[in-house]
Chain A
Amino acid sequence: MQRELVHLGNGAHALAIQILGNSEDAADAVHDAFATALARPESYDSRRGALKPWFLRVVRNRCIDLLRKRRPTGIDADLLADPGTAPDEQLENRQRDLSLKKALAAISPEKRQIVVLRDYLDLSYAEIAMVLDVAPGTVMSRLHRARMDLKKELEGCDE
């Protein structure tokens, strides 16, 4: 399980950044989720679905706990970008992504999450419903609205 969780770290971090708004808090949330998952591995039941959506749900719940504890703050587009440890050749890609991150910052956290879960983490609608704890039948409409909002914001950022 530990090895599989390591591979999920970056995806979970990307989701946590969308919820918490900065890379450091997001890394802390993922770290806490690792500790929770490894302390109680029996809480994951493989018959109920894949490890990825289960772990992302643990991460999301941890992020919501952290959000409840801290004061509400505005989201800065630069904070949605993970400064990471990118080598020089990735700087160009980061610049290209900046407008996308600004557009993401301009839409609501709920919409950011659903777009990231589908288009960045490649989860199915059923898995997205599990992570977000919403009815599976509502995923398509939520996702479509989120994509339309993101597209609209992106048009403004690209200009």
Chain B
Amino acid sequence: MNEPNGSTTDTHVGERLSGYLDGELTQQEVQGVDLHLSDCQECTGLLDELQDLRRRMGQSGLSQKYEDEWRESMDDTGVQMTRGVGWLLVIGVMLIVAAVVIFQFIMDPGIGGFMKFLISAFYLGLAALFVSVLRQRLIERKTDKYKDVEI
């Protein structure tokens, strides 16, 4: 049988040509294929064709999605929902604690009206600064096209 494209035959290297191309043969097998190729134009031509085929496959765009799509795919609804509930609980408890503290502060008869005004103004100022910075960061987050770039 003289077909070089089937399984191993007496006269051609057959499937060992693929093993040779992929570097999956033993040293002894490589030497055997080398010896055969030095004397067989048919198998040398076939090896070239298989190399071209492999190169063409390697360069083909079988999948053209961006990694960001996979990253977003991992953040599935279950994860997003759990994260949302977590944030809701944390913010809710913080608001309740803040409301209780403010109420006790306002109702405390031991602190004078002027002192209450000064302390309130100080904390309101801090809150205004925090909201301002938070707003700016949120706007930047929406418009920053490099936010998902990994360094």
**Residue positions of A touching B, CB distance < 8 A:** 2, 5-7, 9-11, 13-14, 17-18, 23, 26-27, 30-31, 34-35, 38, 80-86, 90, 93-94, 97, 100-101, 115-116, 118-120, 122, 124-125, 140-141, 143-145, 147-148, 150-151, 154
B76 at the interface (CB under 8 A from A): yes
Residue in A9, A26, A151 with the greatest tally of chain B CB atoms within 10 Å: A9
Min Cβ gap A33→B in Å is 10
Select which of B59, B62, B70 is within 8 A of A82 by beta carbon: B62
| Contacts A26-B63, A38-B74 known; 11 new A-B pairs at CB < 8 A | A5-B70, A6-B67, A9-B73, A10-B63, A100-B57, A101-B62, A120-B62, A122-B58, A144-B15, A144-B18, A148-B5
The distance in angstroms between the C-alpha atoms of A2 and B50, with both chains bound, is 35
Distance of A23 Cα from B57 Cα, bound (Å): 18
Q: Which residues of B contact A101 (CB under 8 A)?
A: 60, 62
Complex contacts, A84 vs chain B, CB 8 Å? 61, 63-65
Q: Which of A82, A116, A119, A151 has the most CB atoms of chain B within a 10 A radius of its CB?
A: A119
Shortest Cβ distance from A116 into chain B, in angstroms?
7
B residues near A80, Cβ cutoff 8 Å: 62
Tell me the smallest distance from the CB of A142 to a CB of chain B, in Å: 9
Classify chain B: how many residues form its interface, as a range.
20 to 34
Q: Is the CB of A94 within 8 A of B7?
A: no
Chain A residues with CB under 8 Å of B5's CB are 148
Per-residue contact bits, chain B 54-83, to A (CB 8 Å; 1 contact, 0 not): 101111111111110111011010000000
Interface of A is mostly: helix
* B residues in contact with A17, CB < 8 Å: 62-63
CB of B73 within 8 A of CB of A34, answer yes
Bound-state CA distance A143–B76 (Å) is 37
Q: In the bound complex, how far is the Cα of B59 from the Cα of A118, in angstroms?
A: 13
How many whole Å from B79's CB to the nearest CB in chain A? 9
Whether A140 lies near B18 (C-beta < 8 A) is: yes
